[in-house]
């Protein structure tokens, strides 16, 4: 760099530092440098062009386009939102990304069927709107004996309140003690009506659980006595690696949408966080149980690696 080039770059840096770092006005920078305001504007433009100024945007919800594209191509998923982060526990940020995607679908007159669990809770609690929407929020299935903030009853009320809409409960536990009791419960007019509302929803938001992990998933997994190992829990139903419901005694004890009924909903958003969910997410994608996926980059990368190993 010649002496003239060095002096020019120093002048650009001085103008940029006083304007961008010290907060001076362009008029103040012009007085300091002994030049005009219009020339300061040209100096700042040159500083950007020549790399004297380097902008770093710290976007808290920055996404990972290459992983999104890879998942979409691998499974034909309509929309994928992968949070670009190296955080050990990205649940809250994934929930914020999930809330943004949910709001993309919100319009007056739609019905939303909502699951339960920590990922769904993280999504719901980050929903915020400027004006209310005429929406209806219902449950995909009965309730689980789980922390209040993650329960189905709490979450449908919370989401409806945040959106300014209406909600209704499915007044039954999701897992009953016997198939006979479940059959009797499913014949109840109120239960049938609530499940019919969920079946005809325009949008569903569900968590993707790993059997044995988390409170709700452990309750379901502990109730299973079959031989086949499930890979995921979706809508309180145990799912194998191909995305089909695992046959066994638990299947007839669940008060919730069937997997085929979930697939029939026009748009199902699956929300999950953490690489330990990779097998469960792959199972849900393999079975076409979700149309859209919201997750973090570690989970997305782990799911792709797992799919590649098995192909």
Q: Residues 286, 215: one domain?
A: yes
Q: Residues 41, 134: one domain?
A: no
pLDDT score for 56: 67
Q: Is residue 57 part of a domain?
A: no
Range of the domain at 302: 65-310
Q: pLDDT tens track of the chain, all 311 residues?
A: 787 788 889 899 999 988 988 889 999 999 999 999 999 999 999 998 998 888 766 667 889 999 999 999 999 998 999 999 887 889 999 999 999 999 999 999 999 999 998 999 999 999 999 999 999 999 999 987 656 656 788 999 999 999 999 999 999 999 899 999 999 999 999 999 999 999 999 999 999 999 887 767 777 788 777 777 899 999 999 999 999 999 888 889 999 999 999 999 999 999 999 999 999 999 999 999 999 999 999 999 999 999 999 87
Outline where the chain has alpha helix (H).
3-16, 26-33, 37-49, 65-75, 91-105, 118-124, 152-163, 179-186, 189-199, 215-222, 259-264, 278-286, 297-310
Q: Residues 37, 132: one domain?
A: no
pLDDT score for 208: 96
Q: At 210, give phi and psi (nearest 5°).
A: -105, 120
pLDDT score for 55: 72
pLDDT score for 87: 78
Q: pTM surpassing 0.75?
A: yes
Q: Is residue 56 part of a domain?
A: no
Q: Which residues of 79-111 are buried (b: 16+ CB within 10 A; e: fewer)?
A: ebbbbbbeeeebbebbbbbbbebbeebbeeebb
Q: Is residue 293 part of a domain?
A: yes
Q: Residues 240, 163: one domain?
A: yes
Q: Residues 213, 112: one domain?
A: yes
Q: Residues 87, 44: one domain?
A: no
pLDDT score for 147: 60
pLDDT score for 178: 92
CATH number of residue 38's parent domain:
1.10.10.10
Q: How many domains does the chain have?
A: 2
Q: Residues 22, 94: one domain?
A: no
Q: Residues 190, 214: one domain?
A: yes
What is the CB-side half-sphere exposure of residue 234 using CA atoms within 13 A? 39
Q: CA angle, 199 as apex, 195 and 201 as ends, to 5°?
A: 115
Check: CB of residue 267 under 8 Å from CB of residue 204: yes
Q: Residues 22, 100: one domain?
A: no
Q: Is residue 54 part of a domain?
A: no
CB atoms within 10 A of CB 232: 29
Q: Residues 42, 73: one domain?
A: no
């Amino acid at each position: 760099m010649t002496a003239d080039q060095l002096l020019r770059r120093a002048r650009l840096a001085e103008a940029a530092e006083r304007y961008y770092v010290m907060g001076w006005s362009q008029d103040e920078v012009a007085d300091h440098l002994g030049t005009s305001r219009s020339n300061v504007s040209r100096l700042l433009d040159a500083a950007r062009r020549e790399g004297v100024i380097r902008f770093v945007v710290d976007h808290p919800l920055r996404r990972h386009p290459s992983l999104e594209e890879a998942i979409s191509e691998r499974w034909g998923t309509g929309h994928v939102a992968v949070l670009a982060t190296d955080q050990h526990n990205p649940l809250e940020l994934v929930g914020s990304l999930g809330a943004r995607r949910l709001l993309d679908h919100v319009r007056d007159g739609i019905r939303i069927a909502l699951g339960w669990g920590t990922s769904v809770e993280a999504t719901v609690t980050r929903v915020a709107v400027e004006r209310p929407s005429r929406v209806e929020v219902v449950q995909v299935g009965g309730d689980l004996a789980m922390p209040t903030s993650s329960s189905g009853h709490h979450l449908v009320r919370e989401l409806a309140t945040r959106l300014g809409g209406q909600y209704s409960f499915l007044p039954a536990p999701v897992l009953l003690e016997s198939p006979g009791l479940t059959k009797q419960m499913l014949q109840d007019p109120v239960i049938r009506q609530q499940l019919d509302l969920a079946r005809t929803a325009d949008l569903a938001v569900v968590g993707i659980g790993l059997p044995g992990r988390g409170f709700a998933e452990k309750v379901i997994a502990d109730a299973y006595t079959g031989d086949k190992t499930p890979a995921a829990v979706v809508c309180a139903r145990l799912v194998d690696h191909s995305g089909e419901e695992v046959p066994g005694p638990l299947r007839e004890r669940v008060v919730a949408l069937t997997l085929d009924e979930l697939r029939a909903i026009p748009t199902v958003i699956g929300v999950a966080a953490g690489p330990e969910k990779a097998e469960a997410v792959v199972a849900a994608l393999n079975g076409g149980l979700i149309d859209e996926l919201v997750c973090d980059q570690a989970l997305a990368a782990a799911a792709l690696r797992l799919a590649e190993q098995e192909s």
